[in-house]
Structure 1
Amino acid sequence: AENKEVTRWHGFAVRVYEIPGHDAGHLGLAPDSLAWFIVGDLIQGIGTVVIPSPEGDMATYFSTLEKVIALNPEVIIPSHGIPMRSTHRLIETLNHRRERESQILKLSKSGNSKEEILEQLYEGLDPRLQPLAMQNIESHLEKLNKEE
């Protein structure tokens, strides 16, 4: 499906982009001018996206963020939140995920369980959000295990 023209916008072809990570079949849309890029659940305006297993894959998510950052669209349109100028939020999200992964790796190598990692990294998190945070911890651990 990648690069298939699906419609036109102001004379530009609008193409489908494969942007997996949050979900294996996640797609985005952008015109050839890259004036905008609809990224769906790749990022959110506030907070971070959950990368649930088995649909999501953290390594793929990192690669997809890097891919869209390299395309450098003018406006990012997420499915949750308002459109954002530039790739700043994508870069911020990728840096946050890398930092979080570093923290998880350090705590895991110190013998902490997933539950202990959750308690330490997400202290004070609303209990309703803890299962989502745990999914991201598990996705990071899965990525780290594959890389060993």
Structure 2
Amino acid sequence: MALPPKPWPTGMAEQCEPLVRRVLAPNPSPYTYTGTQTYIVGNAGDVALIDPGPADEAHINAILAAIGDAKVVAIMCTHTHRDHSPAAAPLSERTGAPVVGCAPLVIESDLPRSDEAFDTTYAPDRVLEDGEAMTGTGWTLRALHTPGHTSNHLCFALEESGALFTGDHVMGWSTSVVIPPDGDMGDYMKSLDKLQARNDRVYYSAHGEPIEKPRQLVRGMMGHRRQRENQILRLLGARARTTPEFIPEMYKGLDERLVKAAQMSVTAHLLDLEKRGMVSSTSEGIWALA
């Protein structure tokens, strides 16, 4: 998706709804759209921060200015990519608030990525299990375990308003990337099923605009992934092939800069199909129908 025209509201506290404000970080990139959005939940004396973002001093100061005299009772992270969690530690030092949310996770890999690398500094005071909640004055945030984009990914449901903070699991500008070995396509699809079974009113993702028709979007995302899976099976029905050989037929006219990302996405699908006994691979990296 093309970037919206500037100026972007970087560093500004924007009111999304009575209990929710957002502050855009100055870290736009092909992975982050216009930047990472930090959400401030609560307005009656105590607040929680969701996805504090990169450890950028201007962004940290913008968050603190938006908070004002309110007490921060929790700094909550959906996952540990470095555009989401590095500001947790400095904000915890300045506010005294605990860091809670996802489990720590660092994947060391020399493989090319199509998203941000992991944050090695993340050290939560408390890891939230599926269904556990953080509460403040007039607000309740309940954790939903949504692995797939990463194995430690969480969403947070604001029970008072029906909003769901989706991190990178469902975004307002692009489909989420699923990159092995930590990203898992089977888990990702199960997590989409989990959201589809809910009745959330709106999604607030870390990147892009609010999603006003969330179940419709999730249904479309699931259909897109199934379409890619069917493409792979059809191509293997014609002949066995290596992962790079899928790309010209599956992604016609693809920008050369996105080829590696497409290969990683295909790999995630192939590994999931292999787990389900539908395809197999050789030691030379050749895939075929099982």
Structures share fold, TM-score greater than 0.5: yes
- State the shift of 1:96 in Å: 0.3
2:262 to 133, 138, 146: 133
Q: Which has the higher helix share?
A: 1
1:103 to 228, 231, 236: 231
Larger Cα Rg: Structure 1 or Structure 2? 2
Structure 1 contact 37–75 (Cα < 8 Å) conserved: yes
Distance, in Å, in 2 between the alignment partners of 1:109 and 1:8 is: 55
Identity of matched residues, %: 33
Aligned residues: 147
Distance, in Å, in 1 between the alignment partners of 2:139 and 2:172 is: 27
User: Secondary structure of the residue that 1:84 maps to in structure 2?
Assistant: coil
Distance, in Å, in 2 between the alignment partners of 1:2 and 1:104 is: 33
Distance, in Å, in 1 between the alignment partners of 2:174 and 2:245 is: 21
Structure 1 contact 46–81 (Cα < 8 Å) conserved: yes
Q: 1:144 maps to which residue?
A: 273
**Structure 2: gaps of 5 or more residues:** 1-128, 278-290
Q: CA distance change for structure 1 residues 25 and 34 in 2, over 3 Å: closer, same or farther?
A: farther
- State the shift of 1:24 in Å: 0.1
Q: Which amino acid is 1:4 matched to?
A: E
Q: CA distance change for structure 1 residues 8 and 69 in 2, over 3 Å: closer, same or farther?
A: farther
- State the shift of 1:14 in Å: 1.3
Q: 2:220 maps to which residue?
A: 92
1:18 to 141, 145, 156: 145
**Structure 1: gaps of 5 or more residues:** none
Q: Deviations over 1:34-88 (max 9, x none)?
A: 6111111112233322100011100110000010111121101221211111321
Q: CA distance change for structure 1 residues 92 and 46 in 2, over 3 Å: closer, same or farther?
A: same
Distance, in Å, in 2 between the alignment partners of 1:21 and 1:62 is: 7
Q: 1:117 maps to which residue?
A: 246
User: Secondary structure of the residue that 1:52 maps to in structure 2?
Assistant: coil
Q: Which has the higher strand share?
A: 2
- State the shift of 1:12 in Å: 4.5
Distance, in Å, in 1 between the alignment partners of 2:156 and 2:246 is: 36
Q: Calculate the TM-score normalised by the size of structure 1.
A: 0.91
Q: Which amino acid is 1:18 matched to?
A: H
1:46 to 162, 166, 173: 173
Establish whether residue 55 from structure 1 lines up as the match of residue 179 from structure 2. Answer: no
- State the shift of 1:134 in Å: 0.8
Runs of 4+ in 1 over 3 A off after TM superposition: none
Q: Calculate the TM-score normalised by the size of structure 2.
A: 0.48
Q: 2:133 maps to which residue?
A: 5
Distance, in Å, in 1 between the alignment partners of 2:171 and 2:241 is: 29
Q: Which amino acid is 1:114 matched to?
A: T
Q: CA distance change for structure 1 residues 70 and 8 in 2, over 3 Å: closer, same or farther?
A: farther
